[in-house]
Structure 1
Amino acid sequence: MDPSSIPAPGRSKFKRRALLGFFLLNIFLFSSLGIWQVQRLGWKLDLIERVNARIHAEPADAPGPTQWSQLTRENAEYRRVLLQGELLPGQEVAVYTNTELGPGYWLFAPLLVRQAADSDAPQAIVWVNRGYLPMPLRDPASRPGAEPARLPATVTGLLRFGDGKHLFLRDNVPQENRWYRRDVKEFSAARTLPQLPVAPYFVDAQASSVTPSWLTPGLTQVNFRNNHLSYAITWFVLAALNVAAFIYLLWFEPRQRRQRPQSQEDA
C-alpha cells in the first residue's frame, strides 16, 4: 500500500472530532424539537378541551367596551355569546370563502348594540358574520326581497378574532370591494358607520332572528390540526439515530480499528 495514500493522523482525528460535534449538535437540536412538540401537544389538547366547553355552553352577553382590552384568543375565542341590536345591512362586507357548500362569501354586517345591563350605557358596534352567501347573490339587488336599512336582530353565535397576515390569504382590496381576510378594522374603515366604538372581535352567527332563506349561518369550522405527537416521535427518532451514530463513532469504531489484523494495516 502506498504510504502517501494513508491519511495523516492529525487530519483523521480532526474529522472524527468534527463528526462527533456534528452528532452532538443534532442530538441537542432534535431532542429540543421533540420536547417542544410534546409541550405543543399538551397546549393543543388543553385548547381543544377549552374550546369544546365554550361552544357547547349557554350563550352569555357579548363582552362590552369595558372588557375589550382584556380579551385574547386564549381566554375568549369561541365563547358562545348573545347580542341584541340593529343590523345595518346597507354597510355589509362580503368576504370570499370556500365551504362545504362550495365557493361563496361570508356576509358580514355591523350590529348596533346597546349594552343590556344599562340602557344608558353608550352604544357599540359589533361585526356579525351572518352566514354563507352563494356567489350569485353577492349583489344585494340579486337577492329575493329587500332588507331595510336597519334591522332589529337577536344573534347567538361564537366570538371570533380576525384573520391576521397569512401566506395563504390574499390581502383585502377595499377600494375594489374585494375581501379575503376577516378584519373588522378594515371593514369599519371602508364603510360609513356611526361614530361609536367598534368591538375588536366579530361574531359567527349560529342563529339569528333575521336570517333570510338565502343565507346559511352556523358553518363555523372548529377543527384544530393536531399532528404534534407524530412530529415529536419523528424528532425523537432522529435524535436516537444520532445517538447511535455518536456511540458507534466514539466507542465501537476505535475498537474495530484496534482489533484489525496488523496485516490489513500493512496491506
Structure 2
Amino acid sequence: MMGRFILPVLFGVVGCAILLALGGWQVQRLTWKNEILSDLRSAITAAPVAVPEYPTPDMRYLPVHLAGRLTGAELHILASIKDQGAVYRIISAVESEAGRRVMVDLGTVPTTAKDVARAGTVAVTGNLHWPEETDGFTPEPDLPKNIWFARDVATMAAALDTEPVLIVARNIDAPLPGVTPLPVGTEGIPNDHLQYAITWFSLAAIWAGMTGYFLWRMRRTEQEG
C-alpha cells in the first residue's frame, strides 16, 4: 500500500527542490547585482577628468569636468518626475574653452520655464552618458515647439551641431535660474532579484504544503476505506 505514496512524495520533493534551487539562484544574482551597483556608484562619483578627445559609449558614466559658454542653442526633452509631474530636461550646446562644442544636460525646469533664456559661462562636473530612451513607440520631436520626447545622442548632436557627446551635469558652478540638475545614478537600473527569490521560496513552501495536504488526504481516504 505504501507504494501508492512514492510517486506523490517524489513529485513533491523534486518540485520543492527545483523551486528552492531557483530561489537560491536569485539570491546569488542579488549579491552579484548589488556588487555591480556598488561599483557603478563608486565610478559615477569618482574624481572627474577632462572630456576625452574621442569619447565612446564604453565610457558611459565617466566623471568629467567642462568649462565653457552656453551658446543659447537648446533642446527641451519632456519628462516626468515622481511627486513633481511634467518637467523639461534642458540639453544645451556648450562651447568649451578649448573650442569644442558638446552637449550638456543641465537638468530640469518646470514647464513654465521652458523658454527662459539661459546664457553665460559655466563650469560643469558631470558624467558622460548615452541614454537608451528611444524605441519604435517614441514620438518624433515637435520641432516648431522644440519639444522632444527622449534623449538620443546622435540625433540631438545633429540638431544642435555639436560633437555626439552628452554630459549629464551633477554640479554647475553658477546655478542657472530654475534649473535643477538631475545627475545620472543607479536608481533606474532594475534590481528585482530579492522579489524573485521571495516568490520562488514562497512557491516552494506552497508546493510543500500542498504535497503534505495531498498525502494526508490519500492517507485519510485509505483509512476510511
CA contact (8 A) 1:172 1:178 kept: no
- In structure 2, relative to structure 1, the CA distance for the partners of 1:23 and 1:126 (3 Å cut) is farther
**1:47 is aligned to 2:36:** yes
For 2:95 and 2:12, locate their aligned partners in 1 and report how far apart those are by CA, in whole Å. 62
**Deviations, residues 25-63 of structure 1 (Å, cap 9, x unaligned):** 6863x4454234223311331133223323443222234
Matches within 5 A, 1:99-114: 99=81, 102-113=85-96
CA contact (8 A) 1:87 1:111 kept: yes
For 2:32 and 2:169, locate their aligned partners in 1 and report how far apart those are by CA, in whole Å. 27
CA contact (8 A) 2:118 2:176 kept: no
Give the number of the structure whose residues are more often helix, by fraction.
1
Instruction: Give TM-score scaled by structure 2 length.
Output: 0.71
Of the candidates 89, 100, 109, which is equivalent to residue 72 of structure 2?
Answer: 89
For 1:127 and 1:101, locate their aligned partners in 2 and report how far apart those are by CA, in whole Å. 25
**1:37 is aligned to 2:20:** no
Corresponding residue of 2:51: 62
For 1:216 and 1:209, locate their aligned partners in 2 and report how far apart those are by CA, in whole Å. 13
- In structure 2, relative to structure 1, the CA distance for the partners of 1:35 and 1:124 (3 Å cut) is farther
How many residues end up aligned between the 2 structures? 217
Matches within 5 A, 1:86-235: 86-90=69-73, 92-99=74-81, 102-113=85-96, 125-139=101-115, 143=116, 147=119, 152-165=121-134, 171-176=138-143, 177-189=146-158, 191-193=159-161, 197-199=163-165, 202-209=166-173, 211-218=175-182, 222-223=186-187, 226-235=191-200
For 1:135 and 1:254, locate their aligned partners in 2 and report how far apart those are by CA, in whole Å. 67
For 2:134 and 2:24, locate their aligned partners in 1 and report how far apart those are by CA, in whole Å. 28
The alpha carbon displacement at 1:95 in A equals 0.9
**1:260 is aligned to 2:209:** no
For 1:193 and 1:210, locate their aligned partners in 2 and report how far apart those are by CA, in whole Å. 24
Unpaired stretches in structure 2, ≥5 consecutive residues: none
Instruction: Give TM-score scaled by structure 1 length.
Output: 0.62
Letter aligned with residue 242 of structure 1: W
Question: What secondary structure does 2:187 align onto?
Answer: coil
For 2:28 and 2:131, locate their aligned partners in 1 and report how far apart those are by CA, in whole Å. 26
Letter aligned with residue 203 of structure 2: L
For 1:166 and 1:33, locate their aligned partners in 2 and report how far apart those are by CA, in whole Å. 32
Structure 1 stretches of 4+ moved >4 Å = 16-27, 218-222, 224-227, 246-249, 251-257
* Structure showing greater Rg: 1
Mean Cα deviation higher: 37-46 or 204-213: 204-213
- Percent identical residues: 25
The alpha carbon displacement at 1:226 in A equals 4.7
Unpaired stretches in structure 1, ≥5 consecutive residues: 1-12
- In structure 2, relative to structure 1, the CA distance for the partners of 1:69 and 1:157 (3 Å cut) is closer
